[in-house]
Chain A
Amino acid sequence: MRIYFDHNATTPLAETVTETILATMKNHFGNASSVHSFGQTAKSIIDAAREKVSALIGATPQEIVFTSGGTESNNLALRGVSGSISTNKTRLITSAIEHEAVLKTVKDLSQQRWNTSVIPVDSDGLVLPEELEKIITSDTALVSVMHANNEIGTIQPIKELAEISHRHGALFHVDAVQSAGKLPICVKTLGVDLLSLSAHKFNGPKGVGALWVKRGLRLSPHSTGGKQERSRRAGTENVPALSGFGVAADIAKERLNKGSHVISQLRDRLESGILDAVPGTLVNGTTDQRIANTTNISFDRVEAESLLIALDLEGVAVSTGSACSSGTLEPSHVLKAMGLSPHRTQSSIRFSLGLGNSQEHIDRVVEIMPRVVDRLRQLSFSGSRQKN
């Protein structure tokens, strides 16, 4: 049995999504910018997808810019918004637990004309509005905070943070890559100005995402050339992937409307199952404001890297930190920002559930965890490594 518990990294395609993409590839190859009927068909496919994606977040289709994914959307938001900002605003604020796509971009921008500030998080992994209040200034151009954190799943108080930003004359960008499809989102209610999302996080294909840009906001395009996406993002559109994106958004919206608790129940059972069966385990981050599918657990006296591999050899796929950060010596910046000890940050595993997971999977994992963890705990190095 192969068990996939890494849905926050990426998700399997929903069946209808795959079918739609294949059908589009086979039957509709036209370039959406062409005048003739082949182009018109392609264009209408994109329009349909745009409608569905905008419906997922309570927006209007014209406000959606299709991109190659969450990273590009974040880049476009942070870099592109300078077109809309007056020159006396020179500060960018973001949180300590953002995805690398935001942090690295902000770091890059800090080498240019921007000053940057970072809002700390508390030990629950929450960005507190009062912390933003403390550091926001009248020269702040943009505040960027993610909706749900990819590593621990905590949901940030976006509405309040956006309000504070606007009061100080700053725009607000929310990275909703991890929350779209998992939480109901309405851009009006959240009161944000920019929102990023990514298809492959909710059973859509990789290679496409979107940036929602509030009507009236001007964006300096990243990619210039043709007039696609209302001249905000040049390049011939990936029509098949976009068709899949639309269908995935549809499916997600329907699932959210139904209000199913299946995933959160599975997650809760997995979490309590592991905490009960394995001594020396703790959940990282608050369990109150959390997306339904995620649990991040630290295992005392175990190297996360080793546990990851051992589980993989047992057919269970999980992760430590963000997929993009593996292969480095740095502990998870998210766990570190929460103030967890280095020992704890390096012994934490993220379990994220989704389409295709069942109670059988939960049972199997809870069954094998004690044995696997025990074997690793018996090795001398797990003690000696922690001496640092």
Chain B
Amino acid sequence: MAMSGGVDSSVAAALLSHDGHDVIGLSMQLYDQRDGDITFGNCCTLDDLHDARRVAGLLGIPHYILNFERQFKTSVVNNFISEYENARTPIPCVHCNGELKFSTLLERAQGLDAPKLATGHYAQVTQEKDGTYTLKRGADLTKDQSYFLFSLTQAQLACASFPLGHQQKSEVRAYAEQFNLPVAQKPDSHELCFVPDGDYASFIEKQSPNSGKPGRIADPSGSTLGGHDGIHRFTIGQRRGLGISNSVPLYVTQLDAKTNTVTVGERSQLEKTNLTASDVNWIAGTPPLSPLSLSVQIRHQHKAVKATVEAEGVARAHVTFEEPQPAITPGQAAVFYERETVIGGGWID
């Protein structure tokens, strides 16, 4: 059981344990904790590891803290920084899930003779009659985290367990109270776990000396409208922080890392009908042979909309939306759903 010290993974551990499973609690140490009370972020801090340990102690399950500082830096943090350097808006959680939790951590679990790794994600994995695994949204659609799990392969899904998949968040909180877990009242962490105070711009500037270079803000024809302090401070669809007064609202429509230019335009220019996704993972293991009519979600807080998804080779896909969508953002994930089932997903070019 991957335990972050939060309510979700704590309740998941409790449910598994009460159901009679042999549970081993594993927490990942992602930052250097030796300096005592320096809080790097707002999850997996010393306090959180302490909470995980307390919950494990209460449940009577063994608990170990694994040092993944190096892997976290390589798989998650470095990617985060380089994406911003390339004017893309990354989703580190996807990498953490696919390359850390269901990779390195899963391997550690297998080394301890555990056939499955459970997490507190709101998602569902089921094995079909033909032996393949499907990934579905969690029952609580307001908390569904399947969007962040699109990169999981069949091999990874075979070893995954999501005890909270069919629960509502309110039920989970109720369980926490019922089991008397010390984390029952702990608030959820919403921000990126490794960025203190959600101030990712400062974080990027500290880690990447190349960022923060001033550049131009231009209109679609290329004329300069203003200046900016670093392209990493912007994302597609952004309205605030442009420092430009205009009769109609202006939105960031394009980011060019090479020229360090932010292009802005009116809302109509923000809407597009297609996108191309790269590094696509097809949950079934192979791409579909013909175009599919699916629902595509392009941001965590985006409601999936109808689109045609056509595979190109094994790792790319072209998505054509029925209705134009605003703020299609390079670096974000396009995840393809058939009703509640994840068919696949990839990174928006």
Contacts and interface: CB of A to CB of B under 8 A. Distances in A.
B111 A327 contact: no
A375 B34 CA distance: 31
Given A305-B67, A309-B64, A312-B62, A379 B111 contact: yes
Interface string A349-388: 0000000000000000000000000011001110000001
A27 interface: no
Interface stretch (B102-110, B199-207, B216-224, B330-338): B102-110
B108 A306 contact: yes
B275 to A, nearest CB: 33
A324 to B, nearest CB: 11
B271 interface: no
A312 B62 CA distance: 9
A119 B114 CA distance: 45
Contacts of A313: 24, 62, 112-113
A275 interface: no
Interface in A310-349: 310, 312-313, 327-329
B99 to A, nearest CB: 12
Contacts of B34: 327-328
Interface residues of B, number: 19
Contacts of B70: 329, 388
B32 interface: yes
A306 B66 CA distance: 9
Interface string B87-128: 000000000000000001001101111000000000000000
Nearest to A375: B111
B177 interface: no
A327 B113 contact: no
Contacts of A306: 108, 111-112
Contacts of B64: 309, 312
B29 interface: yes
B36 to A, nearest CB: 12
A376 B113 CA distance: 9
Given A312-B62, A381-B104, A327 B67 contact: yes
A381 B32 CA distance: 22
B33 interface: yes
Interface string B30-44: 001110000000000
Interface of B: 24, 29, 32-34, 62, 64-67, 69-70, 104, 107-108, 110-113
12 contacts: A310-B113, A312-B62, A313-B24, A313-B62, A313-B112, A327-B33, A327-B65, A327-B67, A329-B69, A375-B111, A379-B107, A379-B110
Interface of A: 305-306, 309-310, 312-313, 327-329, 375-376, 379-381, 388
Given A379-B110, A379-B111, 16 more contacts: A305-B67, A306-B111, A306-B112, A309-B108, A310-B111, A310-B112, A312-B64, A313-B24, A313-B62, A313-B112, A327-B33, A327-B34, A327-B67, A375-B111, A375-B113, A381-B108
